[in-house]
Amino acid sequence: MPSPSHVPVLLDRVVALVAPPLQRPGSVLVDATLGLGGHTEEVLTRCPEARVIGIDRDVHALELSRDRLAPFGERVTFVHAVYDEVGDVLDELGLTHVDGVLFDLGVSSMQLDVRERGFAYAEDAPLDMRMNDTTGPTAAQILNEYPVEELARILKWYGEEKFARRIAEAVVRERAKEPFTRSARLVDLVRDSIPAPARRTGGHPAKRTFQALRIEVNDELSVLRRALPAAIEAIGVGGRVVVMSYHSLEDRITKHAFAEATRSEVPPDLPFVPEGSEPALRLVTRGAEKASPAEIEQNPRAASVRLRAVERVRAAGAVA
């Protein structure tokens, strides 16, 4: 069983958002980022008519969630896939639509806690950072092979790092002496590359660099841009897509995708909306919801969460 540190973020609110369409027999939720299964466990407990398709790219997370969710038996289907493959997963399972899709984005507590995965900057570990550690380039390969311009770009855009160029130049300079293999050396380099006054604010100086490398290794933003339209297309009438983001880039992509899905095609100066011209989806949340101070105190990972949800109110192309 997961340790107390593995507390699902915004558990009650997330379940409240996904639950309404899951009260009918045969209803299906796709947990597109299953992780340790905390949200799914609560959904299956509170929604006895529902079943869950749990997707994760991390084979280790799937193993742990299988153990945790074993009491629910055949109500859970486990799938090793990346969450932008949700359409293919449903096709293979013979499903034309589902009643909800949940995304809990970013790195999981389990991935951070297992030192050998290389996600955490607080401990020396191999520079891996792959969510699916069976395939793809590692963080070390990116550090050792990318040209300085590309390194600077990902540090600036994915890590929102003001000193991206200085860090990238230092990486290229140091890798010429010896390739990067472990995190402690990178942490020291980043700390030395950032001016002392800047190091005293904004948390750990290596946080933004590690975030940028993780996003690049796992292609997270491109995957999310593909996954959200696929999820919106997958839900039937009354179905909901719920997204938990942990940094501004993810939340911006989600906000844009939901705005597009709920945008009316009717000119704004028209005095009424013709029947059948209403958007097929509506926003369930007003803006991005945040965790309360009490939850953040109990679960520090909740500090940066931004929660958004949409609901399909009519079938695509249907007349209301």
State yes or no: 269 annotated in a binding site. Answer: no
Residue position matching structure tokens 């010896």: 178
Q: Where are the alpha helices (DSSP H) in 128-219?
A: 139-145, 148-157, 164-175, 183-193, 196-199, 207-218
158 is in an annotated binding site: no
Q: Which helix (H) or strand (E) holds 94?
A: none
User: Quick one: the chain helix, strand, coil %, rounded to 5?
Assistant: 45, 15, 40
What φ, ψ does residue 236 adopt, rounded to 5°? -85, 180
Q: In what order do the strands lie in the sheet with 51-56?
A: 76-80, 51-56, 28-31, 98-104, 235-245, 306-312, 281-283
Map tokens 């948390």 to a residue: 203
Give long-range contacts, CB 8 A cutoff, 24+ apart: 133-139. 133/58, 133/59, 133/60, 134/59, 136/217, 136/218, 137/217, 138/217, 139/213, 139/214, 139/217
211 labeled binding residue: no
* Chain centroid to CA 241: 13
Quick check: 142 and 118 in contact, CB under 8 A? Answer: no
Quote the strand ranges of the chain, DSSP E. 28-31, 51-56, 76-80, 98-104, 235-245, 281-283, 306-312
> Is 83 marked as binding a ligand?
yes
Residue 38 assigned ligand-binding role: yes
The amino acid at 15: V
Q: Which residues contact residue 258 at a Cβ distance below 8 angstroms, ignoring those fewer than 6 apart?
A: 228, 241, 281, 283, 308, 310
Q: Residues marked as binding for S-adenosyl-L-methionine?
A: 37-39, 56, 83, 104, 111
Q: Residues marked as binding?
A: 37-39, 56, 83, 104, 111
